[in-house]
Structure 1
């Protein structure tokens, strides 16, 4: 199993990145928040897990080991595969997911695309006690002082919203926070706040 990768970011797209490690390019699928912290040409380290199928081997990467652990544990739920597990972490932080499960808050879980009433109930039932207590996760990735508003908008567009709707959502989140820019360290939080405001697509 490939537990982590360290190398140069060769490319970043809406749902994945290519990390050049010793001349080998590894395609790593990830959440918008993790991808927002990667810059082509810069060094990066991601915690990874490999999902092996009969016809494929797919790498998934995360900003910290806690996200990776939650991603892996979520797939123990019947009907939850890598795609839904990744969507869960795109909408909710690991701690937010823990709190939702501990509180049996299925409404919060249903904000994740692909999760309905029955699957939310199943997630609460099958993950109860398996993710640890909120606050046990790893630290956030280091940040650079710059306005990253466009990255949040791009991530929302990648999840299916139009640029106009995405921009409006980000503007409203910034207005509520009383700020006019999104520093690197706030990209994940701003993205999640915008997703909560938008609700499930469609």
Structure 2
């Protein structure tokens, strides 16, 4: 119904923003990610999604199309409502959520308050194929993943560790922690295990 709302920010907190659009104040629910991108602005343009329930109509706002699309994908999963989807996008960046889903990383999704193992698995099963095809994410993820992995593997080999064992360890860390770790963090995690 509303594609976007653009106007002056008349009130903002990490959960919602009020945008004055030609004298009409729109109360829009936002994620922490969107808040961090618009908190210092005087005016903004938010892409929106209107959620209609039996007892309320809630307007959700997003600073980027990627975040809005991910929100819409998340609410398409049985058992994930708009509030839960916003909580997921407040706890993790859209990139971290997409990465966790594509890699099947249940523990990352379970870090979000209120997301249990079954819900995390349902999100992964329902969205893995849909998100894996989108916007070349696999290529981006793969190149970052491989570069960090190769650098960490090279460093561990120079330190005298068995290459095959180091590679298994790095793969395990990347699967559990995701690719948001820096090369240094990856090496430190590996050294604790090796």
8 Å CA contact retained: 1:7, 1:20 = yes
How many angstroms apart in 2 are the aligned matches of 1:3 and 1:136? 30
- TM-score where L is the length of structure 1: 0.63
Matched, 1:11 2:11: yes
8 Å CA contact retained: 1:17, 1:29 = yes
Aligned length: 138
Pairs within 5 Å for 1:114-193: 114-131=114-131, 132=134, 133-134=136-137
How many angstroms apart in 2 are the aligned matches of 1:69 and 1:44? 19
Q: 2:7 is paired with a residue of what secondary structure?
A: strand
- TM-score where L is the length of structure 2: 0.66
Q: Which has the higher contact order (CA 8 A, sep 6+)?
A: 1
Which of 1 and 2 has greater Rg? 2
How many angstroms apart in 2 are the aligned matches of 1:98 and 1:14? 22
How many angstroms apart in 2 are the aligned matches of 1:78 and 1:54? 18
Pairs within 5 Å for 1:51-130: 51-130=51-130
8 Å CA contact retained: 1:95, 1:135 = no
**CA root-mean-square deviation:** 2.2
8 Å CA contact retained: 2:28, 2:58 = yes
The Cα shift of 1:93 comes to 2.0
How many angstroms apart in 2 are the aligned matches of 1:136 and 1:55? 43
| CA deviations over 1:120-154 (Å, ceiling 9, x no partner) | 111111112122252799xxxxxxxxxxxxxxxxx
Instruction: Name the structure with the higher helix share.
Output: 2
8 Å CA contact retained: 2:3, 2:49 = yes
